[in-house]
Homo-oligomer: A and B are copies of this chain.
């Protein structure tokens, strides 16, 4: 996916958000924002993939802030919130159509994201909100096609919180005889899941193998990815790509078949997919 002019204020707002998470020192926050402005000035260029710009801007902000993980606490909070809601989600999945519902639940889990423009990070996600989102269902539903491709899944995880809900989909994939290679970020970036959360949540026991993207790039940067990940992507019977950042990168490569599971939380991703904002999407591309 390519950068749109509207990505600029959104990225800058996220830099400012993480600066506030990281420090109360307004002067330092401002330095991070000014560094973000400088990155935008240099790299908001035509045709560049959106994630190139976002990787650059966040790395620069982290460097200025002297903080390798401004989302530390937010990630913990997201996981705790998701764990509390997991029994409700599990019941919902168990009632009927369990594979489709597990896909839906894993997409709704993406609502635990923080810092996307217009998303209210202070609003606690309660039972009612989550049930409303479950009831909405999938707006794009290729889950039946996914079911026949589960033999050897590479699962590109996204945020903390969300990854707790992903476990219900891991269970469904395994029930249907599939093997799972879970891929998390190689180092902290935004509120994305890393090996730390894999260990804390015992996710390694719920999948067959865990790999990382090899770096803290937004989404997946092939140049920074370990060879075993590149190999796994090439051999997968299905890549499951969770969330917008993974879409933004994976849509630049040609790995197939791939299932994009995400909520279209911004105009730019929605437009790139030919969809509207705020849709629950499970789309397979072969």
Contact = CB atoms under 8 A, between A and B. Distances in A.
A232 interface: no
A40 B16 CA distance: 14
Interface stretch (A30-38, A134-142, A174-182, A183-191): A30-38
Interface string A24-45: 0011011011100110110010
Contacts of A19: 5
A33 B12 contact: no
A13 B44 contact: no
Main SS at interface, chain A: helix
A27 B9 CA distance: 16
Contact of A13 (B10, B20, B32): B10
A83 interface: no
Contact of A41 (B37, B117, B118, B120): B37
A13 B5 contact: no
A26 B5 contact: yes
A47 B56 CA distance: 29
Interface residues of A, number: 28
Copies in the complex: 2
A120 B20 CA distance: 24
A54 B216 CA distance: 35
Interface of A: 4-6, 8-10, 12-13, 15-16, 19-20, 26-27, 29-30, 32-34, 37-38, 40-41, 44, 46, 117-118, 120
Closest 6 A/B residue pairs (Cβ): A9-B13, A9-B12, A5-B30, A5-B33, A5-B29, A6-B16
12 contacts: A6-B13, A9-B13, A9-B16, A13-B13, A30-B46, A33-B44, A34-B44, A37-B40, A38-B41, A117-B118, A118-B118, A118-B120
Given A12-B12, A13-B117, A37-B40, 16 more contacts: A5-B16, A5-B26, A5-B33, A6-B13, A8-B33, A9-B9, A9-B10, A9-B12, A9-B117, A10-B13, A30-B44, A33-B44, A34-B44, A37-B41, A37-B44, A118-B118
